[in-house]
Structure 1
Amino acid sequence: MAILLGLVVGVLTLAAWWVLQNYTYWKRRGIPHDPPNIPLGNISDLWKTMPLAGILKRTYLKYRKQTDGPFVGFYLYSMKYIVITDVDFLKTVLIRDFDKFHDRGVYHNEKDDPLTNNLATIEGQKWKSLRQKLTPTFTALKMKNMFSTVLSVGDEMIRVVDEKISSSSQTLEVTDLVSRFTADVIGICAFGLECNSLRDPKAEFVQMGYSALRERRHGWLVDLLIFGMPKLAVKLGLQFLLPSVQEFYMKIVQDTIDYRVKSKVTRNDFMDTLIDMKLQYDKGDKENGLTFNEVAAQAFIFFLAGFEAGSTTMGFTLYELACNQDVQDKLRSEIDSVLQKHNGKLEYDAMQELTYTEKVINESLRKHPVVAHLARIATKPYQHSNPKYFIEEGTGVLVSTMGIHYDPEFYPEPEKFIPERFDEEQVKKRPTCAFLPFGAGPRNCIGLRFGRMQVVVGLALLIHNFRFELHPETPVPMKYTAKNLLLGSEAGIHLNVSKVVRD
Structure 2
Amino acid sequence: MKKKLTISFFTFSFQIPFRFVTVTDVEKKDRKTRCCHATYMLALNGIPNGATFSGGCLDKVRSSQLKRVNISRRMLLVIFFVVSLLTLAYRAFRYRLTYWKRHGIPQLQPAIPFGDFKLHHPGTRIELTTSGLETQHAASRNPSPTGQYSQQESNPSPSAYKAKPVTSRPRKLGPVFRQNRFYGELLEDLYLQSKHLPLVGIYVTFRPVLVAVDPELIKAILVRDAECFGDRGLNADEDRDPMAANIFHIQGDRAKDLRSRLYSTFSAAKMRGYFIQLSSTAFSLVGALERSAGSVVEVQDVMSRYTADGTAAVLFGLEADSINDEHDMFREVARRAVAVDAFNLMRIAFYFLTPKFKNWLGIKFVDSVVESFMISMVRKISEHREREKSDQDLIQMLLDLRSSDLALKDEMVAAHALFFIIGSYEASTTTTSLCLYELAKNVDIQQKAQQEIDSVISKEEGELTVENMTDMRYVDWCINETYRKYPTLPILFRRCTKDYLVSEHNITIPSGSTVVIPLLGLANDPEFFPNPEAFLPERFENRPDYGLPFYPFGAGPRSCIAKRLGHLQTKVALVMLLAKFDIALANPDEGSVQFHPKFFITKAEQEQEQEQEQEQEQEQEQEQEQEQEQEQEQEQEQEQEQEQEQEQEQEQEQEQEQALPKFLYFHQ
Give per-residue Cα distances to partners, 1:242-263, cap 9 Å, x unaligned.
Answer: 22221222222221112221x2
Counterpart Cα distance in 1 of 2:465 and 2:453: 12
Aligned residue number for residue 478 of structure 1: 593
Q: Which moved more, 1:450-459 or 1:264-273?
A: 264-273
1:221 deviates by 6.8
1:223 deviates by 5.7
Give per-residue Cα distances to partners, 1:154-176, cap 9 Å, x unaligned.
Answer: 000000111112xxx32211011
Structure with the larger RCO, 1 or 2 (CA within 8 Å, 6+ apart): 1
Whether 1:405 and 2:523 are equivalent positions in the alignment is yes
**Contact kept in structure 2, 1:322 and 1:469, CA below 8 Å:** yes
Return closer, same or farther for 1:484/1:129 CA change in 2, 3 Å cut-off.
Answer: same
Question: Unpaired runs of 5+ in structure 2?
Answer: 1-42, 46-76, 118-173, 610-668
Aligned residue number for residue 91 of structure 2: 17
Counterpart Cα distance in 1 of 2:287 and 2:256: 43
Counterpart Cα distance in 1 of 2:193 and 2:333: 38
Correspondence for 1:204 among 329, 339, 346 = 329
Give per-residue Cα distances to partners, 1:106-150, cap 9 Å, x unaligned.
Answer: 242312221221111111122111111111111111111221111
Give the letter aligned to residue 565 of structure 2. Answer: F
> 1:171 is paired with a residue of what secondary structure?
coil
**Contact kept in structure 2, 1:404 and 1:434, CA below 8 Å:** yes
Counterpart Cα distance in 2 of 1:112 and 1:97: 33
**Contact kept in structure 2, 1:103 and 1:377, CA below 8 Å:** yes
1:32 deviates by 3.6
Correspondence for 1:132 among 260, 270, 274 = 260
Give the letter aligned to residue 254 of structure 1. Answer: R
Q: Which moved more, 1:459-468 or 1:124-133?
A: 124-133
Counterpart Cα distance in 2 of 1:2 and 1:238: 44
Counterpart Cα distance in 1 of 2:583 and 2:383: 44
Return closer, same or farther for 1:19/1:217 CA change in 2, 3 Å cut-off.
Answer: same
Aligned residue number for residue 187 of structure 2: 56
Matching of residues 129-168 of structure 1 within 5 Å: 129-165=257-293
Correspondence for 1:123 among 251, 265, 275 = 251
Counterpart Cα distance in 2 of 1:216 and 1:95: 36
> 1:82 is paired with a residue of what secondary structure?
strand
Counterpart Cα distance in 1 of 2:539 and 2:608: 25
Correspondence for 2:540 among 422, 426, 450 = 422
> 2:492 is paired with a residue of what secondary structure?
strand
Aligned residue number for residue 41 of structure 1: 115
Provide the TM-score with structure 2 as the length reference.
0.68
Q: Which moved more, 1:206-215 or 1:322-331?
A: 206-215
Whether 1:311 and 2:436 are equivalent positions in the alignment is no
Counterpart Cα distance in 2 of 1:30 and 1:415: 35
Correspondence for 1:336 among 447, 454, 461 = 454
Give the letter aligned to residue 42 of structure 1. Answer: D
Matching of residues 177-188 of structure 1 within 5 Å: 177-188=302-313
Counterpart Cα distance in 2 of 1:298 and 1:492: 36
Counterpart Cα distance in 2 of 1:49 and 1:215: 14
Structure that is richer in helix per residue: 1
1:9 deviates by 6.1
Q: Which moved more, 1:181-190 or 1:29-38?
A: 29-38
Correspondence for 2:383 among 251, 258, 263 = 258
1:26 deviates by 3.2
Matching of residues 68-87 of structure 1 within 5 Å: 70-87=198-215
Aligned residue number for residue 267 of structure 1: 391
Aligned residue number for residue 460 of structure 1: 575
1:105 deviates by 0.7
Counterpart Cα distance in 2 of 1:105 and 1:415: 32
Give the letter aligned to residue 38 of structure 1. Answer: I
> 2:502 is paired with a residue of what secondary structure?
coil
> 2:211 is paired with a residue of what secondary structure?
strand
Give per-residue Cα distances to partners, 1:322-358, cap 9 Å, x unaligned.
Answer: 1110000000000111111112121111111111111
Matching of residues 230-379 of structure 1 within 5 Å: 230-261=355-386, 263-278=387-402, 280=403, 285=404, 287-379=405-497
Whether 1:395 and 2:469 are equivalent positions in the alignment is no
**Contact kept in structure 2, 1:482 and 1:490, CA below 8 Å:** no
**Contact kept in structure 1, 2:591 and 2:607, CA below 8 Å:** no
Counterpart Cα distance in 2 of 1:106 and 1:459: 34
Give per-residue Cα distances to partners, 1:162-196, cap 9 Å, x unaligned.
Answer: 1112xxx3221101111110000011122221110
Return closer, same or farther for 1:418/1:471 CA change in 2, 3 Å cut-off.
Answer: same
Counterpart Cα distance in 1 of 2:249 and 2:267: 22
Give per-residue Cα distances to partners, 1:262-301, cap 9 Å, x unaligned.
Answer: x2231331111111112x1xxxx4x244221221111111
Aligned residue number for residue 191 of structure 1: 316
Counterpart Cα distance in 2 of 1:220 and 1:14: 32
Counterpart Cα distance in 1 of 2:572 and 2:298: 19
Give the letter aligned to residue 218 of structure 1. Answer: F
Aligned residue number for residue 449 of structure 1: 564
Aligned residue number for residue 499 of structure 1: none
Counterpart Cα distance in 2 of 1:221 and 1:477: 29
Give the letter aligned to residue 185 of structure 2. Answer: G
Whether 1:89 and 2:200 are equivalent positions in the alignment is no
**Contact kept in structure 2, 1:377 and 1:396, CA below 8 Å:** yes
Give per-residue Cα distances to partners, 1:29-78, cap 9 Å, x unaligned.
Answer: 5644433243322332216222221111111111113x3xx101111222
Return closer, same or farther for 1:220/1:336 CA change in 2, 3 Å cut-off.
Answer: closer
> 1:468 is paired with a residue of what secondary structure?
coil
Q: Which moved more, 1:287-296 or 1:189-198?
A: 287-296
**Contact kept in structure 1, 2:104 and 2:507, CA below 8 Å:** no
Question: Unpaired runs of 5+ in structure 1?
Answer: 495-503
**Contact kept in structure 1, 2:592 and 2:606, CA below 8 Å:** no
Give the letter aligned to residue 389 of structure 2. Answer: V
Aligned residue number for residue 171 of structure 1: 296
Counterpart Cα distance in 2 of 1:103 and 1:139: 23
> 1:298 is paired with a residue of what secondary structure?
helix
**Larger of the two Rg values belongs to structure:** 2
Give per-residue Cα distances to partners, 1:299-333, cap 9 Å, x unaligned.
Answer: 11111111111111100100110111000000000
> 1:383 is paired with a residue of what secondary structure?
strand
- RMSD over aligned CA atoms reads 2.4
Counterpart Cα distance in 1 of 2:315 and 2:398: 10
Provide the TM-score with structure 1 as the length reference.
0.89
> 1:172 is paired with a residue of what secondary structure?
coil
Counterpart Cα distance in 2 of 1:208 and 1:259: 21
Correspondence for 2:498 among 380, 383, 388 = 380
Counterpart Cα distance in 2 of 1:473 and 1:486: 26
> 1:374 is paired with a residue of what secondary structure?
strand
Counterpart Cα distance in 1 of 2:389 and 2:292: 36
Counterpart Cα distance in 2 of 1:189 and 1:221: 32
Counterpart Cα distance in 2 of 1:31 and 1:178: 45
**Contact kept in structure 2, 1:173 and 1:492, CA below 8 Å:** no
Counterpart Cα distance in 1 of 2:608 and 2:370: 26
